[in-house]
Amino acid sequence: MKPDADNIRKGVYAAVAVLWILAPLYLDKYWTDVLNNVAIYAVLGLSLNIILGYGGMFHMGHAAFFAIGAYTTAIVNTAWGVPVLWLMPFAGIAAGVFALAVARPIIHLRGDYLLIVTIGMVEIVRIALINNVFGITGGANGIFGISPPTVFGWKINGIVAPGHYFYLLTVFLGATIILFYLLEHSRFGRALKFTCSDEVAATGSGINAAGYKLAAFVIGAVWAGMTGTLYAAKIGFISPESFSFWESVIMFMIVILGGSGSIPGVLLGAILIIGLPEVFQGLQQYRLLIFGIVLVVMMIFRPQGILPPRPRKYPVDKFEKQEVSL
């Protein structure tokens, strides 16, 4: 069989997946933990991708949903000792409900106006956390003593054994990739992308554009909230500065740099945006300067993102056959 582009790509994906899964065997704890961060931000990027990539909504406040998930987990876990993994759905629901409440009045805003509103949202959330809103967020100190997750009675401690946590995150990341792939190719995904590329035509075709956009916003938020659980349980301690506007910018860059609307692109974006500053650790105070230059250069060379979504293919032979049968 002649290797065509499709098979090569599949081969590369498989090789990367194998390399990823075996990573803790050949990497030390530090690089494994870098991959843990990559995995967390990859899931966050994928969840933002639904809003920004498929839905086309300029959303630069995703850290707000991440924060709500993480804080829900931290508060309930430290107050009542509920195991953290049980709290994942609750963290997701909390973030989703918040997103629903916030998004309803602002979803009709266009482009840059939506951008600043989402920035405002993430800043309001951060300021609320810092000011110890309702007396439960611990203010600037944050919340500490969040217990590590337990799977079948086995404690997975992200601090002591990043390699164990790596597999927990990998399972979640893998599930996310599969689910979002199915979503992308579902009726919902197609309608959402249609809405994004031409809202008027989509509405004309009977698509409830506002409804789909709102749904995308909520799905993205739920997923970011659930990721918040895994983040809080990993580091054992959360504080407001982990959920600043800059964190939202990082997620935004992951999606756009990798390739807006493309799952492999977002994954690569997470590897680059989270991994490169660590690769440059040896440069000490120069590392962010180089990181910034790399960012600009990559954007210039791949303006659509490094791995943009591939156009849908309609194989000619399929149509030819249909013609014959007519």
Q: Which of residues 274-293 bind other proteins (CB under 8 A)?
A: 277-293
144: left (phi over 0), alpha (psi -120 to 50) or beta: beta
Query: Position 13: which residue type?
Result: Y
Q: Which of 49, 305, 307, 309 binds other proteins (CB under 8 A)?
A: 305
Structure tokens of 246? 């800059």
Q: Are 191 and 207 in contact (CB under 8 A)?
A: yes
User: Closest distance between other proteins and the C-beta of residue 167, in Å?
Assistant: 17
Determine if 301 is a binding residue for other proteins (CB under 8 A).
yes
Determine if 58 is a binding residue for other proteins (CB under 8 A).
yes
What ranges in 131-198 are assigned the alpha helix state H? 162-184, 187-197
Q: Which of 76, 77, 245, 264 binds other proteins (CB under 8 A)?
A: 245
Q: Among 2-10, 72-80, 88-96, 252-260, which window interacts with other proteins (CB under 8 A)?
A: 252-260
Q: Which of 28, 178, 204, 319 binds other proteins (CB under 8 A)?
A: 28
Query: Position 78: which residue type?
Result: T
Determine if 203 is a binding residue for other proteins (CB under 8 A).
no
**H or E stretch at 144:** strand 143-144
Structure tokens of 81? 């000792």
Determine if 257 is a binding residue for other proteins (CB under 8 A).
yes
Give dist(CA 142, CA 136) in Å, integer.
9
Residue 214 CB neighbours (<10 A): 17
Q: Which of 24, 34, 156, 184 binds other proteins (CB under 8 A)?
A: 34
Determine if 252 is a binding residue for other proteins (CB under 8 A).
yes
Q: Among 17-25, 66-74, 169-177, 232-240, which window interacts with other proteins (CB under 8 A)?
A: 232-240
Reported as half-sphere exposure (CB side, CA atoms, 13 A), residue 46 has a value of 28
Quick one: 6 exposed, middle or buried, by C-beta within 10 A (0-12, 13-18, 19+)? exposed
Give dist(CA 19, CA 139) in Å, integer.
41
Q: Which of 14, 79, 136, 159 binds other proteins (CB under 8 A)?
A: 159
Determine if 303 is a binding residue for other proteins (CB under 8 A).
yes
Q: Among 77-85, 185-193, 238-246, 309-317, which window interacts with other proteins (CB under 8 A)?
A: 238-246
Site for other proteins in 62-91 (CB under 8 A): none
Query: Position 233: which residue type?
Result: A
Determine if 113 is a binding residue for other proteins (CB under 8 A).
yes
Q: Which of 11, 297, 310, 321 binds other proteins (CB under 8 A)?
A: 297
- CB closer to other proteins out of 227 and 260: 260
Handedness of CA 104, 108, 109, 111 (dihedral sign): positive
Determine if 136 is a binding residue for other proteins (CB under 8 A).
no
Determine if 201 is a binding residue for other proteins (CB under 8 A).
no
User: Which of 268, 259, 253, 257 has its CA nearest to residue 309?
Assistant: 259
Structure tokens of 72? 């829900």
Q: Among 67-75, 89-97, 254-262, 318-326, which window interacts with other proteins (CB under 8 A)?
A: 254-262
- CB closer to other proteins out of 105 and 311: 105
